[in-house]
Amino acid sequence: MQYSKKVLEHFTRPHNQGALKNASGVGMVGNPVCGDLMKIYIKVKKDKKKGDIISDIKFETLGCASAIATSSMVTDLAKGKTVEDAMKITRNDVADALDGLPPIKMHCSNLADEALHEAIKDYRNSLIKN
């Protein structure tokens, strides 16, 4: 199985790793088949012109090199975007940004975008409750 240089970079030196205190939203997903577990934390700030912006984002992932790399990359892709634009991030966006993933590891990029989307849904649900 051949990994791209970007996958190896994000695996060995992940960006935005760790928990985020007082997160605006948290999303957690897992794949029972491979055992990967991802948790994404987002902090959202209101911008009068742009709307809700993901001002900070962190992840905690237990899994393989691809799972960690995709978690790292999805945080890079989402940071600074509006929540609406971040909801449009797909598994293919994540894989493409990493210069591809082995076909057997594409499910990892699927988890990364799902965890991000779950964090955004959690944020939106908190707005409804308050």
Q: What is the tens place of the pLDDT at every residue in 41-85?
A: 999 999 999 999 999 999 999 988 899 999 999 999 999 999 999
| pLDDT for residue 109 is more than 80 | no
Residue 79, domain member (yes or no): yes
Residue 53, domain member (yes or no): yes
Distance (Å, whole) CA 39 – CA 50: 26
Residue 61, domain member (yes or no): yes
For 61-98, letters b (16+ CB in 10 Å) and e give bebebbbbbbbbbbbebbbebbbeebbebebebbbebb
Residue 108 a catalytic site member: yes
Residue 130, domain member (yes or no): no
CATH number of the domain to which 115 belongs = 3.90.1010.10
Distance (Å, whole) CA 86 – CA 98: 17
- How confident is residue 24, by pLDDT bands cut at 50, 70 and 90? very high
What three-state secondary structure class fits 109? Answer: helix
Average pLDDT over residues 6-23: 96
- How confident is residue 130, by pLDDT bands cut at 50, 70 and 90? low
Q: Which of 108, 111, 112, 119 is catalytic?
A: 108
Q: Which of 28, 34, 65, 87 is catalytic?
A: 34
Range of the domain at 56: 5-125
**β partners of residue 79:** none
H-helix segments, the chain: 5-12, 65-78, 83-87, 91-97, 106-129
Average pLDDT over residues 103-123: 88
- How confident is residue 114, by pLDDT bands cut at 50, 70 and 90? very high
Residue 64 a catalytic site member: no
Residue 78, domain member (yes or no): yes
* Number of compact structural domains in the chain: 1
Q: What is the DSSP letter of 34?
A: T
Residue 27, domain member (yes or no): yes
